[in-house]
């Protein structure tokens, strides 16, 4: 592949970033929460055009730029396909009564004061078992969001609890792709990586649980009893509600635990939801199909409609109507458009070496343990923002910093932990990142609405920097877990 003939200056590398930030800020001011309907996509493409002009001025051929764009988009294709299937999953699980049943039993069992705490724990367990934050949020997360809405809680707060738990489990699960990718990039083994992550992850999750407990007990959510009863009544009136419907999510979790790949696993969940809809919800099937067909044709029409398009169950309660509405695959198209635009921007920036030029400037500031870890975190977040993909935010900084960590005598698990704390958990906080765009679309909550409440995702990068600055259990070659005193003294001098 062609390479740039001239190395970009830092100013050239920063120009597209500054333009993107300006356009995105302008979009928020003008369009508010509706920026993902097209404004941000165009902003990303315009910024990509500016980066393209710089690439051409650096003597890079258009074929090289376009080749990198295609390569960048190809890395996002698995996410796009999963996103489409998640749209179908939400549809069939709604008409089958699976999600309404989860909402119904959740409202019956969980007390409002501990709901947020329970939501974090539930999502943590499911994500830890499955290794997938995406699957967790698309299944139990949707149900928990419905419960929280019925309790009168702000959707951003509930979404923050769901995402915090899901990303904790994803980060700590040996089944997670990012948990396997980070140690592979750093050069350590999986379980050493997981054990070392506990030093920063357990305190981060502890603080998160305490915050949600305080919010739960300080809030006045238990006063919404009448609203809860209304939701329970309308769910019972419109759906057959039985514990047997919970077989669907249990089976999906089991096949994921058995290491079935994500795409066929989610497709299995989609089809199982459709089957349960046909068996247990005949009234819903007839209502969606319009009642002018035999049951076989009605079943086909209803299940297909739930997979690809809008489905709404109308009740006497506006809140319930909102809970029982899905948009299928079609509802994911704006998000896919956003991801494609973000991949174009990231591809152009990478082709011209602009991302690497900015990262090199960041590395120059990292002299002590704390500053090196902080630089790694900042670089991972930077790639989450610019390359719009959590895998790139792990792989590229991992390659960039591996030699520096080795030369300074640090064991590779310090780098792998930092990549997870900086790259994995922050990806969902960026609206145009594949993770942020997907979870925003799946939950129906804008990224900026849930971002302030994703306490685990916000605390984690700061925790890993704090632990490094304190030189707490920083592993160095030949010293196991105790800090090397001479290096510690050098750290102090550098600071």
Sequential DSSP letters for 258-321: TT--HHHHHHHHHHHHHHHHHHH-HHHHHHHHTSSS-HHHHHHHHHHHHHHS-EE---S-HHHH
Total count of domains within the chain:
2
What is the per-residue pLDDT across 82-125, written as a single tens digit (0 to 9) for each?
Answer: 889 988 998 999 999 998 998 888 888 888 889 999 999 999 99
Distance of CA 305 to the CA centre of its chain: 27
Instruction: Lowest mean pLDDT of 216-225, 453-462, 467-476, name the range.
Output: 216-225
Question: Do 343 and 446 share a domain, yes or no?
Answer: yes
Report the sign of the C-alpha dihedral through residues 342, 347, 456, 164, in that order: positive
Q: What's the confidence (pLDDT) of residue 6?
A: 78
User: Is 363 within a domain?
Assistant: yes
Q: What's the confidence (pLDDT) of residue 479?
A: 54
- Give the H or E element holding residue 130: helix 112-130
Rounded-to-integer distance, Cα 186 and Cα 194, Å: 13
| Residue 486 β-bridge partners | none
Among the ranges 5-19, 211-225, 339-353, 456-470, which has the highest mean pLDDT value? 456-470
Rounded-to-integer distance, Cα 80 and Cα 20, Å: 23
pLDDT at 12 over 60: yes
pLDDT, greater one: 396 or 194: 194
Report the sign of the C-alpha dihedral through residues 162, 176, 425, 26, in that order: negative
Q: What's the whole-number mean pLDDT along residues 349-356?
A: 87
Question: Do 105 and 249 share a domain, yes or no?
Answer: yes
Q: What's the confidence (pLDDT) of residue 417?
A: 95
pLDDT at 482 over 50: no
Question: Do 241 and 313 share a domain, yes or no?
Answer: yes
Rounded-to-integer distance, Cα 436 and Cα 451, Å: 10
Question: Do 352 and 463 share a domain, yes or no?
Answer: yes
Q: What's the whole-number mean pLDDT along residues 291-308?
A: 91
Among the ranges 205-209, 218-222, 387-391, which has the highest mean pLDDT value? 205-209
Q: What's the confidence (pLDDT) of residue 28?
A: 80
Instruction: Lowest mean pLDDT of 26-30, 33-37, 219-223, name the range.
Output: 219-223
Question: Do 294 and 366 share a domain, yes or no?
Answer: no
Rounded-to-integer distance, Cα 409 and Cα 401, Å: 13
Question: Do 203 and 93 share a domain, yes or no?
Answer: yes
Rounded-to-integer distance, Cα 348 and Cα 354, Å: 9
Rounded-to-integer distance, Cα 386 and Cα 16, Å: 10
pLDDT at 219 over 80: no
User: Is 3 within a domain?
Assistant: no
Rounded-to-integer distance, Cα 469 and Cα 176, Å: 28
Question: Do 45 and 190 share a domain, yes or no?
Answer: no
What is the per-residue pLDDT across 144-180, written as a single tens digit (0 to 9) for each?
Answer: 999 998 888 999 999 999 999 999 999 999 878 888 8
Question: Do 483 and 371 share a domain, yes or no?
Answer: yes
User: Is 463 within a domain?
Assistant: yes
Q: Which of 331, 346, 362 is the last residue of a domain?
A: 331
Q: What's the confidence (pLDDT) of residue 493?
A: 44
User: What percent of the chain shows pLDDT beyond 70?
Assistant: 94
Q: Which domain holds residue 318?
A: 78-331
Buried b (16+ CB within 10 A) or exposed e, 361-377: ebeeebebbbbbbbbbb
Question: Do 324 and 471 share a domain, yes or no?
Answer: no
User: Is 4 within a domain?
Assistant: no
What is the per-residue pLDDT across 50-89, written as a single tens digit (0 to 9) for each?
Answer: 999 999 999 899 999 999 999 988 888 888 888 899 889 9
pLDDT at 1 over 90: no
pLDDT at 386 over 70: yes
Q: What's the confidence (pLDDT) of residue 229?
A: 80
Q: Which of 303, 331, 359 is the last residue of a domain?
A: 331
Q: What's the confidence (pLDDT) of residue 3?
A: 53
Question: Do 357 and 417 share a domain, yes or no?
Answer: yes
Question: Do 289 and 361 share a domain, yes or no?
Answer: no
Placement of tokens 């730029």 in the chain:
65
Residues 6+ apart with CB under 8 A from 18: none
Residue 89 backbone dihedrals phi, psi, to 5 degrees: -60, -45
User: Is 1 within a domain?
Assistant: no
pLDDT band at 459, cuts 50/70/90?
A: very high
The mean pLDDT value of the chain amounts to: 87
Rounded-to-integer distance, Cα 376 and Cα 394, Å: 10
Rounded-to-integer distance, Cα 228 and Cα 211, Å: 24
Q: What's the whole-number mean pLDDT along residues 447-475?
A: 94
Question: Do 483 and 442 share a domain, yes or no?
Answer: yes
CA angle 440, 443, 447 (to 5 degrees): 25
pLDDT, greater one: 397 or 488: 397
Q: What's the confidence (pLDDT) of residue 200?
A: 96
Q: Which of 281, 301, 331 is the last residue of a domain?
A: 331
Residue 61 backbone dihedrals phi, psi, to 5 degrees: -75, 155
pLDDT, greater one: 94 or 387: 94
For residue 201, give the 3-state DSSP assignment.
helix
pLDDT at 236 over 70: yes
Q: What's the whole-number mean pLDDT along residues 403-423?
A: 92
User: Is 239 within a domain?
Assistant: yes
Rounded-to-integer distance, Cα 1 and Cα 352, Å: 12
Q: What's the confidence (pLDDT) of residue 29?
A: 83
Q: What's the confidence (pLDDT) of residue 490?
A: 44
User: Is 2 within a domain?
Assistant: no
Rounded-to-integer distance, Cα 178 and Cα 176, Å: 6
User: Is 5 within a domain?
Assistant: no
């Amino acid at each position: 592949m062609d390479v740039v003939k001239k190395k970009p200056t830092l100013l050239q590398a920063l120009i597209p970033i500054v333009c993107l930030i300006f356009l995105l800020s302008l979009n928020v001011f003008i369009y508010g929460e509706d920026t993902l309907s097209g404004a941000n996509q165009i902003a990303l493409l315009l910024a990509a055009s500016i980066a393209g002009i710089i690439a051409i001025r650096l003597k890079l051929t258009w074929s090289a730029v376009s080749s990198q764009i295609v390569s960048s988009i190809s890395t996002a294709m698995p996410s796009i396909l999963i996103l489409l299937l998640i749209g179908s999953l939400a549809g069939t699980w709604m008409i089958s009564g699976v999600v309404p049943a989860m909402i119904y039993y959740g409202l019956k069992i969980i007390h409002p004061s501990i709901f947020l705490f329970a939501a974090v724990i539930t999502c943590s367990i499911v994500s830890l078992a499955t290794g997938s934050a995406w699957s967790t949020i698309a299944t139990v997360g949707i149900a928990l969001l419905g419960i929280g809405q019925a309790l009168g809680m702000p959707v951003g707060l509930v979404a923050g609890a769901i995402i915090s738990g899901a990303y904790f489990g994803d980060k700590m699960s040996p089944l997670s792709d990012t948990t396997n990718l980070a140690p592979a990039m750093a050069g350590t083994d999986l379980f050493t990586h997981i054990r070392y992550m506990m030093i920063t992850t357990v305190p981060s999750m502890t603080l998160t649980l305490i915050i949600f407990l305080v919010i739960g007990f300080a809030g006045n959510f238990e006063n919404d009893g009448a609203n809860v009863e209304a939701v329970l009544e309308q769910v019972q009136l419109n759906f057959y509600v039985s514990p047997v419907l919970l077989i669907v999510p249990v089976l999906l979790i089991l096949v994921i635990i058995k290491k079935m790949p994500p795409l066929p696993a989610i497709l299995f969940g989609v089809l199982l939801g459709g089957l349960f809809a046909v068996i247990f919800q005949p009234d819903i099937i007839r209502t969606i199909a319009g009642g002018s067909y035999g049951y076989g044709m009605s079943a086909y029409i209803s299940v297909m409609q739930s997979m690809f398009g809008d489905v709404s169950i109308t009740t006497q309660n506006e809140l319930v109507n909102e809970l029982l509405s899905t948009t299928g695959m079609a509802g994911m198209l704006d998000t896919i458009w956003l991801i494609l635009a973000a991949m174009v921007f990231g591809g152009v920036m990478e082709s011209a070496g602009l991302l690497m030029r900015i990262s090199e400037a960041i590395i120059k500031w990292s002299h002590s343990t704390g500053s090196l870890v902080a630089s790694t975190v900042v670089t991972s977040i930077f790639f989450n923002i610019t390359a719009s993909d959590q895998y790139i935010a792990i792989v590229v900084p991992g390659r960039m910093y591996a030699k520096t960590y080795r030369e300074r005598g640090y064991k590779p698990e310090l780098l792998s932990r930092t990549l997870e704390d900086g790259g994995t958990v922050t990806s969902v906080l960026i609206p145009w990142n594949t993770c942020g765009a997907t979870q925003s679309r799946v939950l129906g909550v804008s990224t900026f609405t849930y971002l302030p409440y994703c306490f685990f995702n916000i605390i984690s990068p700061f925790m890993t920097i704090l632990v490094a600055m304190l030189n707490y259990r920083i592993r160095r070659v030949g010293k196991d877990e105790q800090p090397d005193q001479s290096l510690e003294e050098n750290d102090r001098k550098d600071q």
